[in-house]
C-alpha cells in the first residue's frame, strides 16, 4: 500500500478516519492544532455529559425521599465537579493518543492551511512551518460557536458554550439565548444545580427541529421545574449593570426586559473555514460549509471534507461515520450513498431522542402515515426508576400489501423519557433497515425494560397495544 493521506483535524471525524485508513494499510498523517478529540471530547459532548451526570444526581437527591431514603443535607463542590470533568476528558484524550500510535498514525501539532491542492503547510506553535504532501487530503477541522449580531453580545463576561463549561461557581440566575440542543442542555444542567434559568428562543418553540408533540410536553415539564421559556422572542440588545446583564427583548406584540447574573449565547455553530486557505486549493464552500458529494469528496480531486466542516449533520457520531466512509472510499474505493440514518440525542431532563422523520415532515411530504404512542407512565421500569414523564411516538407509512393487508414501514421514532438516548438505537436499526411494524411486533422485548415502551408504541399503530387503551 503506497497510499498516503493527510487529515486536518483530530476530532471524531479526523481521528476515526485516520484509524480506519490506517487499518486498511494507508500511511496517515494527522494534523491537530489543539487537543486530540476535537470539540466533542474537549469542549462538547464529553465535558457536558460529565456535568449532566452531576445534575442528574442532584435531581435524584432532590427527590430521594420517594425511594424511602433520608438525606440530611448535601452541597455542591464546583472544584470537584470540574476536577472530575477534566479527569474524564484527559483519560479519553490519552486513549485516542494511544489508538493513533498503535495504528501507526503520525500526529503533527500545528495549524494547517492549504498551499495548493496537494500540499498543506503546518504552522507550529514556535512559528516554524512544515509542508506535508499526500495522495489525498481529508479536511476535518470542525466548527466553532456562532456569535450572533446582537448589540452587546461581545460584552465582557458573556459566555459561549466553551466558556460556560469552566464555570467556577453556580450562578444565581442564567439567561440562555437560543433554545436549540446546546442551549437546552446547559439550561437543564444549571436548572438542576439550582440556578434560575430563563431561555429566550427566536423560533416559535424551543428545539424547533424536534417533533411538536414531544416539545409541547417537554416545554410544560421544564416550566414545572421552574424554568422560564420565552419563544418567538428576539433579543435586540444586551446591557450590563453593576451586578447583572439586561436582555432587551421583543415579541410580535410587546417588548420585555430579562435580567440575569450570567448570559449564555447558544445560537448554533459554524464551520471552521477561515484559517484553512481553501481558496489556494480551489475548494468550493459557502457559509454552510465545504461542498461535498455522497462520498464526501470536494470539487477538487483527492480532497475530502467530513464532519462539521461540511455542515451536513453537526453531530459527533455523524462525523465519525463520515470519517469511516471517506477513508474506505479513498483506500478501497467503497462507494457511499450518503443516506445514513442519523439519530439525535438531547441530554435534558427528561432526555429526548429521535430518528427518521417527524409528523410535521410526514405531512409536508404528503405521506399517508399512521402513528402510535405509548406513555412512560404506563411502563413498569420507568415507574420503578421514578421517571414516569414522557412518551414514545412512532410513525409509519404503508409500504406494500400482502393478502389484502397493508404492510406498514416504520419511518420515524421520537422518544422523551428515561434513557431515551439508549433506547433510540433500536429505532435507528429499525428505520435504517426499513423494518415493518409487523417485524417489531413479532420481536420479543424483555420485561421489565424501558424498551417495552417502544414495542407498545409500535403495537399501538395496529391498535394492538396491551398496556393502554387503543384509540381509533
Q: Which of 297, 290, 292, 289 is nearest to 329 (CA)?
A: 297
Which helix or strand (DSSP H or E) is residue 54 part of? helix 45-62
- Angle (nearest 5°) at CA 254 between 251 and 260: 70
Marked catalytic residue, from 317, 321, 445, 447: 447
Q: What are phi and psi of 228, to 5 degrees?
A: -95, 135
Q: How far apart are the first and last CA of the chain?
A: 62
> What distance in Å separates the CA atoms of residue 164 and residue 179, rounded to the nearest whole number?
16
Q: Which of 225, 223, 457 is nearest to 354 (CA)?
A: 457
Q: Which of 434, 295, 413, 311 is nearest to 354 (CA)?
A: 413
Per the omega criterion (within 30 degrees of 0), is the bond before 350 cis?
A: yes
Give Cα separations from 367 to 196, 249, 360, 440 (angstroms).
42, 39, 10, 21
Which string of b and e fits 405-443 if b means at least 16 CB within 10 Å?
eeebbbbbbbbbbbbbbebbebbbebbeeebbbebbeee
**Side-chain half-sphere CA neighbours of 458 within 13 A:** 27
Looking up cell 466533542, which residue turns up?
40
Contacts of 221 (CB under 8 A, 6+ apart): 350, 389
- Residue 381 near residue 177, CB atoms below 8 Å: no
Strands 391-402 and 369-375: antiparallel
Give Cα separations from 159 to 111, 167, 189, 258 (angstroms).
25, 10, 15, 16
Paired residues of 29 in beta bridges: 6, 106
Is 414 marked active-site? no
Question: Which active-site residues does the annotation give?
Answer: 447
Amino acid at each position: 500500500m503506497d497510499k498516503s493521506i493527510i487529515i486536518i483535524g483530530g476530532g471524531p471525524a479526523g481521528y476515526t478516519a485516520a484509524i480506519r485508513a490506517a487499518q486498511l494499510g494507508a500511511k496517515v498523517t494527522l494534523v491537530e492544532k489543539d487537543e486530540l478529540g476535537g470539540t466533542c471530547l474537549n469542549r462538547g459532548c464529553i465535558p457536558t455529559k460529565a456535568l449532566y451526570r452531576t445534575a442528574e444526581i442532584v435531581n435524584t437527591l432532590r427527590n430521594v425521599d420517594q425511594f424511602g431514603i433520608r438525606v440530611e443535607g448535601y452541597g455542591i463542590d464546583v472544584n470537584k465537579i470540574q476536577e472530575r470533568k477534566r479527569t474524564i476528558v484527559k483519560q479519553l484524550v490519552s486513549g485516542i493518543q494511544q489508538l493513533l500510535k498503535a495504528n501507526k498514525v503520525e500526529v503533527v501539532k500545528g495549524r494547517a492551511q492549504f498551499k495548493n491542492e496537494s500540499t498543506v503547510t503546518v504552522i507550529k506553535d514556535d512559528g516554524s512551518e512544515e509542508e506535508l504532501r499526500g495522495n489525498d487530503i481529508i479536511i476535518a477541522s470542525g466548527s466553532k460557536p456562532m456569535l450572533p449580531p446582537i448589540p452587546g453580545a461581545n460584552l465582557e463576561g458573556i459566555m459561549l458554550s466553551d466558556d460556560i463549561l469552566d464555570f467556577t461557581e453556580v450562578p444565581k440566575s442564567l439567561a440562555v439565548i437560543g433554545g436549540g440542543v446546546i442551549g437546552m442542555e446547559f439550561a437543564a444542567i444549571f436548572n438542576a444545580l439550582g440556578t434560575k434559568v430563563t431561555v429566550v428562543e427566536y423560533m416559535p418553540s424551543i428545539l424547533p427541529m424536534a417533533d411538536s408533540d414531544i416539545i409541547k410536553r417537554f416545554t410544560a415539564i421544564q416550566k414545572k421545574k421552574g424554568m422560564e421559556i420565552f419563544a418567538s422572542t428576539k433579543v435586540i440588545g444586551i446591557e450590563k449593570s453593576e451586578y447583572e446583564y439586561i436582555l432587551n427583548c421583543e415579541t410580535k406584540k410587546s417588548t420585555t426586559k430579562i435580567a440575569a447574573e450570567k448570559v449564555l449565547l447558544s445560537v448554533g455553530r459554524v464551520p471552521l473555514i477561515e484559517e484553512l486557505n481553501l481558496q489556494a486549493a480551489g475548494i468550493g464552500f459557502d457559509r454552510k460549509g465545504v461542498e461535498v458529494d455522497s462520498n464526501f469528496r470536494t470539487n477538487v480531486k483527492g480532497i475530502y471534507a467530513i464532519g462539521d466542516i461540511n455542515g451536513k449533520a453537526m453531530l459527533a457520531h455523524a462525523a465519525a461515520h463520515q470519517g469511516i466512509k471517506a477513508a474506505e472510499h479513498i483506500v478501497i474505493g467503497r462507494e457511499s450513498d450518503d443516506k445514513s440514518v442519523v439519530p439525535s440525542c438531547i441530554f435534558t431532563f427528561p432526555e429526548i431522542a429521535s430518528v427518521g422523520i417527524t409528523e410535521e415532515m410526514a405531512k409536508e411530504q404528503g405521506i399517508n402515515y399512521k402513528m402510535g404512542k405509548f406513555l412512560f407512565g404506563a411502563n413498569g421500569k420507568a415507574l420503578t426508576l421514578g421517571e414516569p414523564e414522557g412518551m414514545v411516538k412512532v410513525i409509519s407509512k404503508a409500504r406494500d400489501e400482502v393478502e389484502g393487508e397493508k404492510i406498514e414501514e416504520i419511518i420515524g421514532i421520537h422518544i422523551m423519557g428515561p434513557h431515551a438516548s439508549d433506547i433510540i438505537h433500536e429505532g435507528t436499526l429499525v428505520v435504517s433497515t426499513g423494518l415493518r411494524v409487523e417485524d417489531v411486533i413479532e420481536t420479543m422485548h424483555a420485561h421489565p425494560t424501558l424498551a417495552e415502551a417502544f414495542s407498545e408504541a409500535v403495537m399501538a399503530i395496529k391498535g394492538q397495544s396491551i398496556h393502554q387503551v387503543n384509540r381509533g
